[in-house]
Structure 1
């Protein structure tokens, strides 16, 4: 639930709040939605530092502080009367995102539990899959009755009261576990090839996810669907993402490379159906949602298995930077593609990226089969 609150007050907030802000202030959409790009870029730059802090001090306090930082940014958003102040507020929110979203949380769990962190990561991503399902309707209802500024202040208050619960939920420690791993394993070297493959796999997955999150409704309208139909189809993503994580928990323990392969195959098939089989758009979005739901689990589990345990925390921050930079640039590039080439142009690029990701996961799987399987 704490992750749902932080995600809902940062990454997902402008999807619901963007239009009310633009209507009230007169600021252009490129600036309002560009604020999220700024926030993601700040998060990308700070991600390695965030992981180093987790490695040095443990992540409990940092995760608790993340909600406080996001709340501070939301209070500035609520008070902003000029665009520079608004952008500053989202830069501050980006600091909170670096301190408290999945990368920092996965690093904290890895530091606390080592290879046993897999179950906790799967469970948390399962619950966090409801972030949009819960936050979007509640934020929209609050905006309708209170206005967007009061909604920001109310959301900030909720974060201030709730995120310090990380101090009670998570046990103290983490540094001790890392120290034992480092001494026991002698800090083995990172396989550079595997590391780069994982960086690209995660980056491409994050870019596809961001493009779908930001542009799906507009893309569906470009394919001929009405606004109501596009929103209805887009609503299929949340339940399908959660369903895939439930199935992952039921399926039991297996090497996460197989989860990664299923994830990228489902994403590719889903995007291809939306692009080239108009009658199967709903099925395509369900398949995409299933694959994207597994993607969040893969981000936490695959490095935990393939990378040295003693370096997992530091690597999570370094590996997340390209993904976050790609996410920051995606709304800008996606908007250009939509303007110049229409919905099919956006979908065509996403299909290519999804197929490349299938190939990259196949390369990792092939190398692992030679070494272990």
Structure 2
């Protein structure tokens, strides 16, 4: 049985409006708030009310990320075949079901099963599948849409942690899960259904691939995946260790929280600047700026903690730009026809790295201390910068060949 033709954009189809992009950004605030950012708020009340081991409760997120990473290539292929709307709506409803199951969990195995369900939904509803759907549908005009979505969702941590804390305080952690489930089912899913294009048109002729044989990797895809993976590991590790690292330098807990809160505004600021001035620049230049900014920020944090505010601003700006580059660079390198499938493949290694990072950081801090872990983080940031330079070199070579 031959593979279905891949959807490509209607030539008359335009990118979503600014209002539509803002609505799509809202979907990411809600979905990230009900998944990645929910654990930090509910872990203590879950442990207090159930007696389950704290490590297992925290590890449930790693389980979800692992499942999400394993499924990402398959999700990319489905978006490539049928378009983004049905995949993202289905992923959102699966996340809602996982949150309902979590709220009903009376035992640790059921709680873990709920996060496994969440992982399935996360594979089909967070940034990577959304960018895959946008890029496949709108091609070159998707870049501005991706940046606007990233701007709208840039304050996710700033908004979701206080909102989740409020819900836990007033309706308990189970009620908070149900609230996020309702928002996913009755706000996010309808937005995806309305804001994302439906249907598909036949793809242009291309080299046929026999059934059962995987399509070949595109040039440079492996090194690009490794670059994205090291960046994702850094982001996850920083979310685990930043507050502890600041406090290890003698910064009081309240001040450390205030400094960490600078990440949100700096992420949004970088994305606004990219939207205003960077649309004509090749995304590879933004990748280099992002990697350099993150590396410099982490280096300053280790060697000059008195400039922690500047270090966090640099790190946040680089990390905020990375979110956009993750969507725009593959589109620029590999084109629109293969975009969704490529994004699915590129998403797996970073997600697997993210799944392992919290556990690895925990053991590293226990065995070697927070300062040693911070030095390792600087080394990873320099590796990421080196990989980014290698990607840029490959892009330059390809451009010369094309010329």
CA deviations on 1:151-188 (whole Å, 9 max, x unpaired) are: 11122112111122211111213x427x13xx279999
Mapping 1:1-373, distance limit 5 Å: 1-165=26-190, 166-173=192-199, 175-176=200-201, 179-180=203-204, 183=205, 191-192=218-219, 194-251=220-277, 252-372=279-399
Distance 1:65 1:269, change over 3 A: same
1:362 Cα deviation from its structure 2 partner: 0.9
Match of 2:20 in 1: none
Structure 1 range deviating more: 362-371 or 72-81: 362-371
Distance in 1 (CA, whole Å) between partners of 2:321 and 2:299 is: 18
Q: How many residues align?
A: 368
1:11 Cα deviation from its structure 2 partner: 1.4
3-state DSSP of counterpart to 1:176: coil
Distance 1:116 1:43, change over 3 A: same
Distance 1:176 1:216, change over 3 A: same
Which structure has greater helix proportion?
1
Distance in 1 (CA, whole Å) between partners of 2:65 and 2:349 is: 11
Unaligned ranges ≥5, structure 1: none
Distance in 2 (CA, whole Å) between partners of 1:313 and 1:223 is: 44
Runs (4+) off by over 3 Å: 184-192
Distance 1:306 1:189, change over 3 A: farther
TM-score by length of 2: 0.88
Tell me if the contact between 1:8 and 1:131 (Cα under 8 Å) persists in the aligned partners. Answer: yes
3-state DSSP of counterpart to 2:201: helix
Unaligned ranges ≥5, structure 2: 1-25, 210-214
1:309 Cα deviation from its structure 2 partner: 2.9
1:308 Cα deviation from its structure 2 partner: 4.0
CA deviations on 1:217-274 (whole Å, 9 max, x unpaired) are: 1222233222212211111111111110001001132100000000000000000111
TM-score by length of 1: 0.94
Pairwise CA RMSD? 1.8
Distance in 1 (CA, whole Å) between partners of 2:221 and 2:367 is: 35
Distance in 2 (CA, whole Å) between partners of 1:86 and 1:367 is: 45
